[in-house]
Structure 1
Amino acid sequence: MHCCLSVLLLGLWLAPPLSGEPLRLYSQEYPPVNFSVAGEPAGMAVEVVRELARRSGQPISLEVVPWARAYREARTRPNAGVFVAMRTAEREPLFQWVGPITVNSTGFYGLNDFTPRIDTLEDARHHGQIAIPREWYSHQLLLAEGFTNLHPVPGPDMVVQMLKHRRVKLMVMDNLGLPAYLARGGLRDDEVKLLFSFLRSYSYIAFSPETDPSVVARWQEELDGMKRDGSFATIHHKWLPGAEMPGLRAPP
């Protein structure tokens, strides 16, 4: 019996620590949630991720890259993840999820002189091309809804430019990124109006299927701890004052 106990304790002592292999984490330019300043990652989610790494004792590397690359790396590379990513039914089996990090509302926006009403998704099909960031969750959703008038472009900055120069009448954007992208594109908030909100969603850290599940579980535990002790709320309010803050778990 003492021999078995000794073997068990030795096995536990030799078990690899959680902080073994660094996690490769990718994000994109999505201010103020995650973005880069002079080549260094910054933003609300970046602060949360760094604190999760500190609490879990997990070494990480952070890189801000185009969304398509971030998504691909997080799907295929062991010990890798992308943040923030919207958790949708289509993506659910592709990743392991830690969150929620933000609550987002996505809709159709137009310039203030856009006069037709848009009250449904069907209405939006009849106003020419719609600028939308390529391969974003909203793009995938509208494709699944059978939209044929989408004009996907590499990112939100180009979406805003297309609307500003009236190459399209509508663009798809979410409420958290909208102010920063309008400012970067030379549009004031009062020059653009929300016409119809069609999606409420929650963002997460999405880890590859090959990432150690115990690491993912530990990160979720630490995130829940941040929400309970108030540190998550402090970071959220710093970057997203007035925005809705997610609870411990998103509604199904």
Structure 2
Amino acid sequence: MKAAFTIRFTQLLTTGFLGLLLAFSMQAKANDFSQLTIMTEDFPPFNYKKDGKAAGSAVDLLMQASAAAGKPITNDKINVMTWARAYKAVQSGPNALLFSMTRTDARENLFKWAGPIGENRVVIWAKKSSGITPFDNIKDNSEKVVVVRDTVGDQLMVSAGATDDQLARASKPEGASKMLINDRIKLWAYSENSGARQLKDAGANVDDYEIVHVLKSSELYFAFSKDVDDSVIQLLQKGIDQVRP
């Protein structure tokens, strides 16, 4: 009888201790960003890798906002990777943060959001010498379009009615821009600002290119996996509101 009581008492103590540990862990996650896996991609001028480190206006905003919130995020916590890999990771979690993400109706309920970071216009690029004239409807276009896999350009093209046969998917924006530059394809669906930067970095003259269609104008945000506690998002949002003009 005494042995049974001792075992039961030990079980209760263990359960209580584990409960306290869980509560402490949840509280720690709610109060800082230390448990987050932070991801970004090569998307200049907002975020990109420079000299082995994450750089860009969105990186600066994240570090400044977290510092203003009293829980600074250091540069070594930010992982630069391909968009497709990061996008998959932030959907499944746990404790994941990805930026800069265009906030759309299709994505609204997939993530939790803090921001905005800045404006983003998703467009279709073409060479001026291609002979392609601006068009108002995707269905008016018969040319194949290159997109970066799982980016908002990819998703918006599909939403507009483009089939897989009408799309060429690249894993990185550098690959997509080179396809356009080297005349392997005539159209590229991507960000206006970042697309211009990618073309320039690849050695192209941006003046030789033009926008033939606007898919969407929206804003960029920090996107969190759904399991992240609301208090973490609120903490970063508070910091953003403090440092943004």
Q: State the TM-score, normalizing by the size of structure 1.
A: 0.79
Query: How far 1:126 moved relative to its partner?
Result: 1.2
2:71 pairs with 1:55 = no
* 1:202 alignment partner AA: E
String of CA shifts for 1:3-40, please: whole Å, max 9, x gaps.
xxxxxxxxxxxx65713743221000111110111221
2:166 pairs with 1:146 = no
2:91 pairs with 1:44 = no
Query: How far 1:178 moved relative to its partner?
Result: 2.0
**1:158 equivalent in structure 2:** 175
2:176 pairs with 1:135 = no
Structure 2 counterpart of 1:31, from 20, 33, 44: 44
2:197 pairs with 1:180 = yes
Question: What is the number of equivalent residue pairs in this alignment?
Answer: 214
Whether the 8 Å contact between 2:115 and 2:220 is mirrored in structure 1 is yes
Query: How far 1:179 moved relative to its partner?
Result: 2.5
Whether the 8 Å contact between 1:29 and 1:36 is mirrored in structure 2 is yes
Rg larger in structure: 2
Deviates more, 1:206-215 or 1:106-115: 106-115
Counterpart secondary structure, 1:151? strand
Q: RMSD of aligned C-alpha atoms? A: 1.9
* 1:19 alignment partner AA: D
* 1:216 alignment partner AA: I
**% identical aligned pairs:** 27
Counterpart secondary structure, 1:203? strand
Once residues 110 and 122 of structure 1 are traced to their aligned partners in structure 2, the CA distance between those partners, rounded to angstroms, is 14
Once residues 209 and 119 of structure 1 are traced to their aligned partners in structure 2, the CA distance between those partners, rounded to angstroms, is 38
**1:238 equivalent in structure 2:** none
Whether the 8 Å contact between 2:63 and 2:72 is mirrored in structure 1 is no
String of CA shifts for 1:96-121, please: whole Å, max 9, x gaps.
00011111112111111122323212
2:142 pairs with 1:116 = no
Once residues 24 and 46 of structure 1 are traced to their aligned partners in structure 2, the CA distance between those partners, rounded to angstroms, is 14
Whether the 8 Å contact between 1:99 and 1:205 is mirrored in structure 2 is yes
Whether the 8 Å contact between 1:118 and 1:124 is mirrored in structure 2 is no
Runs of 4+ that moved beyond 6 A: none
Q: Which has the higher helix share?
A: 2
Deviates more, 1:70-79 or 1:210-219: 70-79
**2:97 equivalent in structure 1:** 81
String of CA shifts for 1:69-112, please: whole Å, max 9, x gaps.
21122222232200001111111111100011111112111111
Unaligned runs of 5+ in 1: 1-14, 231-252
Whether the 8 Å contact between 2:126 and 2:212 is mirrored in structure 1 is yes
Whether the 8 Å contact between 1:125 and 1:147 is mirrored in structure 2 is no
* 1:22 alignment partner AA: Q
Query: How far 1:205 moved relative to its partner?
Result: 0.2
Counterpart secondary structure, 2:156? helix
